[in-house]
Chain A
């Protein structure tokens, strides 16, 4: 059973890690837009 749970956990860890990179890029973009608006 440990391999089964490891596989399911690994799947969601990979997807969450990828989603985290997307969210971070959104945050960076938001800062860039704020900088542009401030000029």
Chain B
């Protein structure tokens, strides 16, 4: 597994470079917005990746609540953290696209507001995990994650069922997209998925190592207490 990581890292770097070339050079220029529309190839795959990671977080949290499995807890914290990074990208690239196209950085419409709320929920999840020292922290965090995940479908379907400033869906929901643009979009999504997988892998290993070290430290502290009493 240790050998696979650098190989996958190199392949992912190659794929990300190829995806960037496709987005900047190969994809056709959109007629109304011009080149700024190419933000689409980073904004949308980042949003889909964040949704996927938050969905895995939801499943892992449910699994943890049902079985108290530490692996599920580690998967949950990993996917929440990496998901927040991708959601941050969405919240930063969105206004950078909106400003030249809409003339404003931000508007409080349902899609944008629910995405911001989603980000805040998962940031509070991470803050809870970081600063709470209670033994019940994983349970509380899992419960928060289960409720937080309810926002994911709200964000996704907000533009399907409500009239918003945000554009209507281009895939499904009656929208349409040039097949060449769709091809570039999917290549970029694949590249970001590979990147997210590698980041999650590193973060998961870090979490597993931390827990091992904490266990050894706790055992040492116990042993020291025992020897002090004798």
- CB B115 to nearest CB in A, in angstroms, measures 15
Asked if B206 and A29 sit within 8 Å, CB to CB, the answer is yes
Over the window 14-42 of chain B, the binary record of Cβ atoms lying under 8 Å from chain A Cβ atoms (1 yes, 0 no) is 00000010000000000000011011001
- Which residues of the other chain, A, contact B89 by a CB distance below 8 angstroms? 10-11, 14-15
| Chain A: number of interface residues, binned into ranges | 20 to 34
CA distance in complex: A26, B205 (Å): 10
Q: How many residue pairs, one in A and one in B, have C-beta atoms under 8 Å apart?
A: 65
Task: Write the nearest CB–CB distance from B207 to chain A, whole angstroms.
Answer: 9
Q: How far is the CA of A8 from the CA of B37 in the complex (A)?
A: 12
- Residues in A with CB closer than 8 Å to B203 are 22
Categorize the interface residue count of chain B. Answer: 20 to 34
B-contact 0/1 string along A1-12, CB 8 Å cutoff? 101101110110
State whether A7 touches B85 (Cβ < 8 A).
no
Are the CB atoms of A4 and B92 closer together than 8 Å?
no
A36 near B92: Cβ-Cβ < 8 Å: no
Instruction: Report A17-31 residues with CB < 8 Å from chain B CB.
Output: 18-19, 22, 25-26, 29
Known: A14-B85, A14-B89, A36-B217. A3 touches B100 (CB 8 A): yes
CB of B107 closer than 8 Å to a CB of A: no
Q: Say yes or no: A39 contacts B213, CB within 8 Å.
A: no
With a cutoff of 8 Å between Cβ atoms, the chain A residues found around residue B220 in the complex are 36, 39
Q: CB-nearest residue of chain A relative to B41? A: A8
Q: Tell whether, in the assembled complex, residue B202 and residue A22 are in contact, meaning their CB atoms are under 8 Å apart.
A: yes
* CB contact list, B31-88 vs A, under 8 A: 35-36, 38-39, 42-43, 46, 81-82, 85, 88
Instruction: Give B contacts to A, CB under 8 Å.
Output: 20, 35-36, 38-39, 42-43, 46, 81-82, 85, 88-89, 92-93, 96-97, 99-100, 195, 199, 202-203, 206, 209-210, 213, 216-217, 220
> Mind listing 20 A-B residue pairs with CB under 8 Å?
A1-B35, A3-B36, A3-B96, A4-B38, A4-B39, A7-B43, A8-B39, A10-B96, A14-B85, A14-B88, A14-B92, A15-B85, A15-B195, A19-B199, A22-B202, A25-B210, A32-B213, A32-B217, A36-B213, A39-B220
